[in-house]
Structure 1
Amino acid sequence: MTAAAARKPTPESATTRLSRLLTMVPWLLSHQGVDIDEAAAEFGVSRAQLVSDLELLFLCGTPGGMPGDLIEADWEDGKVYLGNADHIARPLRLTVDEALTLMVGLRALASTPGIAEHEAVSRALTKLEEATGAVGAASARMQVSIDDGAQQSTLTGARRAVQDHRRVHLRYLVPGRDEVSERDVDPMRVVSLDARWYLEGWCHRAEDVRLFRVDRIQGLDILEQDGTPPPHAQPRDLAGAAFTPHADDLEVVVETDRSAGWIVEYYPTQSVEELGDGRRRVTLRVSDPSWVRRLAWRMGGHLRVVAPADLAASVTSGAEAALAAYAAPPTPAPGEARPAADG
């Protein structure tokens, strides 16, 4: 192999590399003996990166890990040959609806400041447009918008702060504590994840990188201070879930009926189990269980705390105390006669 092949490839996210590998295998199988430089150009990577991908394929295959289970790759003479990979040889095929949906999403990403891989987004969009032709042209007339006017204004302000490198002051609802906090943030990027918009930035209150859901930002003011995050602030890997609980957070299990179904959309959850008839068993991780008690009381029986047992007992005792207070006779005002007893 050449010295160039031995050089370390440019770092990238695991998600991006996996996507390329899944596309690369069927293409190489249908182009046996392709020149290695031609293959690298096809996938928009360097020769060194392609060699690194081929080396990784040696470790991939069907369960078992025996030599006959792994993908075979050979590129010693500058020509790439792939074998024992027929199980993933079928290229990805999108329906027209799937392609249009993907194109609309890519256009929304391409217009978002702070997206690290604009070039990759544009390249994918171009390929989809070429593949769909006139049908795909309809996606150019579609836009992704937010119905809530206040949320749209917040999102616009967040994007402008990212673009201008300005610090922002947030009034942010923290659902885990059921309170509105005040904090200054150096914005890093605006991202869309799981159909929601987030502002990611360096939070001066937490002294760490935080992800703020746009629909929970109750106020955003762009400040005059420079908003460049500190050098050690790094964007989070968003390949997994947006919400990452702390190790000492309490695990709470609740059961909800159809009227309380909105809870799984509003609060970060660990798991949701469908029980039938609109009922769900929901697991959450919370830093302060007091807001769970208040939520259960406020829901008036539509939400029941299952675990932990002491939290469930405190919800029950609190509800009983409230009912007892309603049942007690009113305390007379100073100077007012007490009502006469029956009999």
Structure 2
Amino acid sequence: MSPAPTRFSRLLAMVPYFLARQGIEMSVAAAELGVTQAQLKKDLEQLYVCGLPGHAGGDLIDIQFWDGYVNVLFTAGIDRPLRLTGAEASILLVALRMLLDAQGALAGDAIRRAIAKVEEAAGASRAVVIDDGVDPADHPASSAIREAVAAKRALALRYYTPGRDAVSDRVVDPIRVQVVDGQSYLDAWCRESQGRRIFRFDRVREATVLDEPSNPPAEVAAVPIAMPTHDATLPVARLALDPDAVWVAEYYQARLVEDPAADPSGPVLAELSYASPEWLARLVQSMGGRVRVVSTDARSDEVRALIAEAATAARGRYGDTA
């Protein structure tokens, strides 16, 4: 069922509605508009004081509604239902097509229907072909993942991990689905690893909705997680953030390993993907000891060496100045 229109949208549609039905009975109009006669009278009284800048007698909408009938004498330019402008329709269509290109977070047929309706309303020259079947770009596992998230059910996954070049079977408790940079990700609690994990839709080989509820730890599900915005195969560093440096996690889209509220005075662990050891070393150096590298899954010794060398060089420069 479509939601009821707001009063503002109803008022905008009323002038062209009554213009096309001059002399209509208020009782009939109220029934067609889905409002009471008392509400219709209030709406007409509101329209009577609306109009063009100047707000004088010749600028205001002129609607007569005496004796139970409605007639429009002056529309103030609102003589037809509002339509999307060309620019507005183009922006909306681009956004819808970006959603359609995303890997399975939303139902593709619903998006294609919305695109067709916008193009038809905007008078687009080319219609979208509607297919009630499965979109070729929609991964077979996508519908099962969406169903599990909506129904709050556990999922059995066969998942490909490119870093290990291996496929694993696991049971997860879905938390939510997010779309980032045209890719869809499942945010879920992995029962096998006993930790929060991000699963890319296009790497899920199989997904089966289980007949048991999704039950991720409440303290985990309550904490937003920064979704990856680049290649998930990049190396990951585990960092310890001082309380006054937790903002680094959000700014650099690191994934919080624990809830900052659990121990407000202690460091917070976060995992950060990085492109090069040099970049990670510069980030840590710039934070003046408030961010520390706990471990990395690649070239850990090189990162620590770069940080140590930079610190030694900085101390040396201070010594030379003194």
- TM surpasses 0.5: no
TM-score, normalised to structure 1, is 0.39
Between Structure 1 and Structure 2, whose CA radius of gyration is higher? 2
